[in-house]
Amino acid sequence: MKTNPKQKTIGSLHARLKDKINLSDKRFQRGSVWAKGQEQFLIDTIVKNLDIPKLYFWELKEDSHYKYSVVDGQQRLATIFKFLDGLLELNEEFTPEYANKKFIDLPEDLQDQIYNYELTLVIIENADEEEIQDLFLRLNNGTTLKSQERRMNLGGNLSKYIVDMANHKVFSKVIFKNKHRDYEQILAQCLKLELEGKATNTQGKYLDLMYKEEIDFEDNGTTAKKFKKVLDYMEEVFSDEDKIPELKRFNFISLYLMVSQMTDKFVIKDKKDLFKKFLIDFWDELTNYRNQEQISDEDRNLEFDDFIQFISSRTDSLESIEGRHKILIKYFMLKNPNLEIFDNNRNFTEEQRITIYRRDKEMCWHCNKHVDWVDFEADHRPNPHSKGGKTSVENGVCAHKICNIKASNKENLAKNWLS
């Protein structure tokens, strides 16, 4: 593989290469379909002569219909072409001096300036698809697969343990290969989540630190046992399937976190089929959403847009892992609102709380006003806990702490009066 940076003007790309570029190679689609505002903002950036990020072109073999496939920058380039072709106008908010004007309506010197705007292309030569995917893992996640090979040579108990666990049969379900110790890397990331007990940063430097800190890791200790239990569970979720294409790297990590968190709080022992159905359905819905050519404002799903961001760049960061986790938990809990928690605890779990808060659109059940997360309490309604109401998403509502207290005081008062 060789990468070769090149400057090209917008004009020459449009005039000479437009038909030779594949702008919709599904293998490399990242991000959701842009809203019109995002397109107009990009054009405004070019009109103002400001920088836009590099575009990555993969040079294809001779027999292909196209000469290049765009592996990063599809939306940017499509938007530029759309503008030059007269299918997009400038936005009055960003570019008031040329409000609602199309390319053809602009003054000639500005048209020239846009034609002469230089884009930085990176041409990738002699690469196969796997190498391209590796390159983007590196660009987007700040982590490289090769570094896991180095990490493995650090020695220590953790290193041995992770090498062992890479033979776990859960990996017979994934479609990605163990090319550069990918399985060990994913396991290290999952173990980092297990040690923290919540979403956390899992990029390379944090894994390095963990290897140093856990040099005496006990392969028969509590953490190791829990870790294996979760992986066993994940394997059993898909035991009647051969390969699960949906179980991509980031989904593997997210599923690990979901199962690890839920197994301590919810009765999920016999609920494995729910996880399988959930993952496949969720991914299907997301893929359909993503494959739409255009999305109108009312069809926009902001959570899907966020999720797509969280799997498109810096996927191993705390922000992305936590963001995905919250969205997945909410969808899972809403699909399975009767999921029981261990013992008759009156406290809602974090997963239930997030789900209820988001489902109720952050509005208080009692006073119908907005609730900030810090003032939020999940309240047992319509059946109060005192009357045997369950601690479930179905029987939980979003409330202000203060409204909840007032309501239960009233109920207790009434109860005292009646008794």
Would you tell me which residues interact with Zn ion (CB under 5 A)?
364, 366-367, 400, 403
Q: How far is the CB of 201 from Zn ion (least distance, A)?
A: 36
Q: How far is the CB of 360 from Zn ion (least distance, A)?
A: 11
Closest to Zn ion by CB, 368 vs 416, is 368
CA distance 158 to 295: 47
Q: How far is the CB of 407 from Zn ion (least distance, A)?
A: 9
Closest to Zn ion by CB, 249 vs 400, is 400
Residue 153: count other Cβ atoms within 10 Å of its Cβ. 7
Q: What angle do helix axes 249-263 and 272-290 make, rounded to 10 degrees? A: 140
Closest to Zn ion by CB, 23 vs 367, is 367
Q: How far is the CB of 367 from Zn ion (least distance, A)?
A: 3
Closest to Zn ion by CB, 314 vs 401, is 401
Burial letters 364-398, b for 16+ CB under 10 A, else e: bbbeeeebeeeebbbbbbeeebeeebbbbbebbbb
Closest to Zn ion by CB, 285 vs 375, is 375
State the DSSP string of 20-73.
GEES--GGG--SPPPPHHHHHHHHHHHHTT-----EEEEEPPTTSS-SEEEEE-
Q: How far is the CB of 376 from Zn ion (least distance, A)?
A: 10
Closest CA to 162 of 182, 176, 177: 182
Q: How far is the CB of 341 from Zn ion (least distance, A)?
A: 25
Closest to Zn ion by CB, 163 vs 367, is 367
Q: How far is the CB of 353 from Zn ion (least distance, A)?
A: 16
CB 410 within 8 A of CB 369: no
Residue nearest to Zn ion (CB): 364
Phi-psi region of 156 (alpha: psi -120 to 50; beta: other; left: phi over 0): left
Closest CA to 238 of 247, 250, 229: 247
Number of residues written out for the chain: 419
Closest to Zn ion by CB, 306 vs 360, is 360
3-class SS at 419? coil
For 399, half-sphere exposure in the C-beta direction (CA atoms, 13 angstrom radius) is 21
Q: How far is the CB of 369 from Zn ion (least distance, A)?
A: 6
Closest to Zn ion by CB, 122 vs 367, is 367
Closest to Zn ion by CB, 364 vs 393, is 364
3-class SS at 252? helix
Q: How far is the CB of 340 from Zn ion (least distance, A)?
A: 28
CB 344 within 8 A of CB 378: no
3-class SS at 312? coil
- For Cα atoms 188, 320, 169, give the angle at the middle one, nearest 5 degrees: 35
